[in-house]
Amino acid sequence: MRTAYGVETVRAAERELMARLPEGALMQRAAAGLAAACADLLGRVYGSRVVLLVGSGDNGGDALYAGARLARRGAGVSAVLLAPERAHAGGLAALRRAGGRAVGAEAAGELIERADLVLDGIVGIGGKGGLRPEAEPLAGAVARARAAVVAVDLPSGVDADTGEVRGTAIRADLTVTFGTHKPGLLIDPAREYAGSVRLVGIGLELPAEPELEALQHADVARLLPVPAAESDKYRRGVVGIAAGSARYPGAAVLAVAGALRGGAGAVRYVGPAGQAVIARFPETLVSDRGPEHAGRVQAWVVGPGAGDDAATVAEVLAADVPVLIDADGLRLAEPSAVRARRAPTLMTPHAGEAAALLGVERNEVENGRLSAVRELAARYGAAVLLKGSTTLVADAGGGPVRVNPTGTSWLATAGSGDVLSGLAGSLLAAGLSAVDAGSAAAYLHGLAGRFAADGAPVGAHDVAERIAAAWRDVVRG
């Protein structure tokens, strides 16, 4: 499991550790890890041209000490000081002793243009808002440069706690972060600015409960159901799919496609698209009666392509088994009926649907994904999976939010969400909790999307067909 902790927690752990260590020791640990990552990226340090962008805090101090290490190995290092009188004094002295030089911001453009490597030490966890006006031109110069860009702790200008980017921020190829991942490094839009992320341990002792967690292969493998020898289809769970309409039969077919790959013993379909479903998947149990009379299920999926069928949504919500609500179902579900449920509920909106549920603009959700998913989970008393390139899953009762690390932008394709809801519903029927079902499904679905895409556009159907391959990849490790 990869975990991320917010700024306040990191600060407290740093204080506690600093009290036990000689002064400056933590910064030296950070700088050593940073310099090593830079050296790996450069390949040959001797003779390389390195530019440090140095702000007024300790983030700039890290950059200066790392620059000093690189200078001692023969790099030509120039530090651009954004606030010369407030630059980290010890770091600046170390850089000068090692043969590096410091310049003002006016010289930055030309240096950046000719650099092999730029270190962004403008601002780290002490940053507020996007980059200040005096730092903005630097971000432009960095974006135009051919140099590799390494962000120190965080790309400057992104919000460490939320992943928000309000205004200009530095775009890095690599972020070297200290002590722990910060939530912003794992959540879009900030995640995109971070490039790949390397964690340098500095010995922080962190609390048991993180802000954010990202499942890895081994975690998902532990969650996935394995049929026992005596299993029959009912013991493995039957998932009911109440989806599709005369207008949107495809949503039903795709939700069933996902459900068939999710480990439930059987898939039961109710709705007007039975013909289309059975033609494509003859193994489906198709019923032409409403959910209440369709026969036993261990979990329901309701909503994909449902059009305006509010009665079916209400009937499913009244069932005393886990329910996944997606797409049209989110709009049709009575909030009070969702809150009144006793069995687990999982809602799976994309940003637009989440915005409608919260009564805000879509870009507010896209920029503040973490707070949006938490807010929805609290309002509805339900687990919420907020879809996107970094899908988030929040539990009804709070606690760490899960972020899915396998997403790919190729998954933003029509019907891909229907496949996901079927898959997650199947895992609910197999007995996983709402958060586990949602996060394991997002993981498999993302991986299946990557396998199917392999660098090219894909349709939702291709994704469903690669779920089995993703499952195998996960359980084989």
Contact with ligand NAX (CB under 6 A): which of 4, 5, 13, 14?
A: 14
Partner from K ion, ligand NAX, none contacting 126, C-beta within 5 to 8 A by type = ligand NAX
Q: Which is nearer to ligand NAX, 154 or 242 (CB)?
A: 154
- Secondary structure string (H, E, C) spanning the chain: CEEECCHHHHHHHHHHHHCCCCCCHHHHHHHHHHHHHHHHHHCCCCCCEEEEEECCCHHHHHHHHHHHHHHHCCCEEEEEECCHHHCCHHHHHHHHHCCCEEEEHHHHHHHHHHCCEEEEECCCCCCCCCCCHHHHHHHHHHHHCCCEEEEECCCCCECCCCCCECCCCCCCCEEEEECCECHHHCCCCHHHHHCEEEEECCCCCCCCCCCEEECCHHHHHHHCCCCCCCCCHHHHCEEEEECCCCCCHHHHHHHHHHHHCCCCCEEEEECCCHHHHHHHCCCCEEECCCHHHCCCCCEEEECCCCCCCHHHHHHHHCCCCCEEECCHHHHHCCHHHHHCCCCCEEECCCHHHHHHHHCCCHHHHHHCHHHHHHHHHHHHCCEEEECCCCCEEECCCCCCEEECCCCCHHHCCCCHHHHHHHHHHHHHHCCCCHHHHHHHHHHHHHHHHHHHHCCCCCCHHHHHHCHHHHHHHHHHC
156 is in an annotated binding site: yes
156 binds K ion (CB under 5 A): yes
> Out of 53, 64, 102, 152, which residue is the one contacting K ion (CB under 5 A)?
152
In whole angstroms, the minimum distance from the beta carbon of 55 to ligand NAX comes to: 5
Which tokens sit at 117? 């490597």
**Distance in Å, CB of 253 to ligand NAX, minimum:** 49
Stretch that binds K ion, among 38-46, 116-124, 176-184, 210-218 (CB under 5 A): 116-124
Query: Which of 14, 62, 116, 120 contacts K ion by CB under 5 A?
Result: 120
Residue 168 sits in the site that holds K ion (CB under 5 A)? no
Q: Answer yes or no whether residue 91 interacts with ligand NAX by CB under 6 A.
A: no
Least distance CB 152 / ligand NAX (angstroms): 5
Tokens of 413: 């394709």
In the complex, minimum distance from the CB of residue 431 to K ion, in angstroms, rounded to a whole number: 44
When CB distances are held under 5 to 8 angstroms depending on the partner's kind, the choice from K ion, ligand NAX, none that residue 259 binds is: none
Q: How many residues bind K ion (CB under 5 A)?
A: 5
- Given ligand NAX, K ion, none, residue 30, with its beta carbon under 5 to 8 Å by kind, binds ligand NAX
Q: How many residues bind ligand NAX (CB under 6 A)?
A: 27
Position 197 contacts ligand NAX (CB under 6 A): no
Q: What does the per-residue mask of binding to ligand NAX show for 117-146, with x meaning CB under 6 A?
A: -----xxxxxxxx-xx--x-----------
According to the annotation, is 436 in a ligand binding site?
no
Sheet holding 299-302, edge to edge: 2-4, 212-214, 401-403, 392-394, 383-386, 345-347, 323-325, 299-302, 238-242, 266-270, 285-287
C-beta of 60: minimal distance to K ion in Å? 9
Reading the block at residue 188, the tokens are 């879009």
The nearer residue to ligand NAX, 118 or 122, going by C-beta atoms, is 122
Specify the residue, 122 or 467, whose C-beta has the smaller distance to ligand NAX. 122
**Please, what is the minimum distance in Å from the beta carbon of residue 429 to ligand NAX?**
45
Please give the residues from 41 up to 70 whose contact with ligand NAX meets the rule CB under 6 A: 55-60, 62
Determine if 13 is a binding residue for ligand NAX (CB under 6 A). Answer: no
What's the closest the beta carbon of residue 204 comes to ligand NAX, in angstroms? Answer: 9
Q: Residue 23 or 230: which CB sits closer to ligand NAX?
A: 23
Nearer to ligand NAX, 163 or 258 (CB): 163
Question: In 3D, which of 378, 411, 391 has the Cα closest to residue 349?
Answer: 391
Q: Give yes or no for residue 198 binding ligand NAX (CB under 6 A).
A: no
350 is in an annotated binding site: yes
153 is a contact residue toward ligand NAX (CB under 6 A): yes
User: Is 127 annotated as belonging to a binding site?
Assistant: yes
Q: Is 455 left (phi over 0), alpha (psi -120 to 50) or beta?
A: left
Q: How far is the CB of 59 from K ion (least distance, A)?
A: 5
* Tokens of residue 300, six digits: 């329901």
Residues that bind ligand NAX (CB under 6 A): 14, 18, 26-27, 30, 55-60, 62, 122-129, 131-132, 135, 152-153, 178, 202
Q: Residues comprising the binding site for AMP?
A: 387-391, 417
Q: Residues comprising the binding site for (6S)-NADPHX?
A: 58-62, 124-130, 153, 251, 305, 350, 418
Residues that bind K ion (CB under 5 A): 120, 124, 151-152, 156
